Structure 1
């Protein structure tokens, strides 16, 4: 059986053929889907820094399994460990409040309060007036006078809360 896997997947020590890399790509794709199902729907759904870091590392690790730069099955195991770590840290962030949760998930930042633009908060978060105006247009707001609050969310989106009419 071990010899079968060496023939089909290659060992990574020798040059892999085009069909070995193709088979590896298919197996890694299926394994990645299974591993992601073990994770949570949030992993790529919300796009917080926490989720994006996993995506970058996850892709890098899995690419090594396809190209044969790392042993095949240990690389898949490492990908699984990354997803389980993500799930565990998400659980910790959910279970705890305070610095740990804020570090893992981030926290929203108020950009407009009672209609007043907080320029220092825009600057701290590398946002311009144009970024705020774009969020206003997306929120159906035509004037800053209509804004009660605006927040930079953990995902990087800007949420606009309109004043009561």
Structure 2
């Protein structure tokens, strides 16, 4: 099992390098889903619960599917990219909280104040020109001049 673990580790490393550095970086749901399924599939190769080479082939298929969908999202209209990766949403516009958007995304006023502090700004919502909930879950803030 230890040898299988070493081989699977090396195969997984090669497959991730083939796929994209984003797979396990700051992620969208699109990337996280691959990470979860990828780990599950490769664990079967380590423990021997599935045949070794078909399991590696399944992992390769997942990585290539992820890469193909990412390429399609890049090359096609933004609607497809928004469908599989999501889109950013405005939480604050010209110092005004967008309560409907906040509610639908479970973002509180305290979350926005925290994002302001992380960005090195005073925790004052009236100073915000635009605050967006990004596709990866981060809150980005552009303050007024």
TM-score with structure 1 setting the length: 0.85
Higher relative contact order (CA 8 A, sep 6+): 2
Residues 64-75 of structure 1 mapped to structure 2, 5 A cutoff: 64-75=44-55
2:21 is aligned to 41
RMSD: 0.9
Q: TM-score, normalised by structure 2?
A: 0.96
The residue number in structure 2 matching 1:8 is none
- Structure 1 residue 98 displacement after superposition: 3.6
| Residues in 1 aligned to 2:87 and 2:125: alpha-carbon distance in whole angstroms | 24
2-structure distance, mates of 1:45, 1:95? 22
In structure 2, the partner of 1:85 is: 65
- Contact map agreement 2:128 2:141 (CA 8 A) in 1: yes
| Structure of greater Rg | 1
Asked whether the equivalents of residues 94 and 126 of structure 2 are also in contact (C-alpha less than 8 Å), the reply is no
Runs of at least 5 residues in structure 1 that lack an aligned partner in the other structure? 1-20
CA deviation vs aligned residue, 1:117-162 (integer Å, no higher than 9, x gap) = 1011110001111111111111122111211100000010000101
Aligned residue pair count = 144
* Deviations 1:32-81 (CA, angstroms, capped at 9, x unpaired): 00111111112222310000000000000000001111000100010000
Residue of structure 2 equivalent to 1:15:
none
- The residue aligned with 1:29 is 9
**1:46 alignment partner, SS class:** coil
1:92: how far off? Answer: 0.6
> Which residue is 1:50 aligned to?
30
For residue 120 of structure 1, what is the aligned residue in structure 2?
100
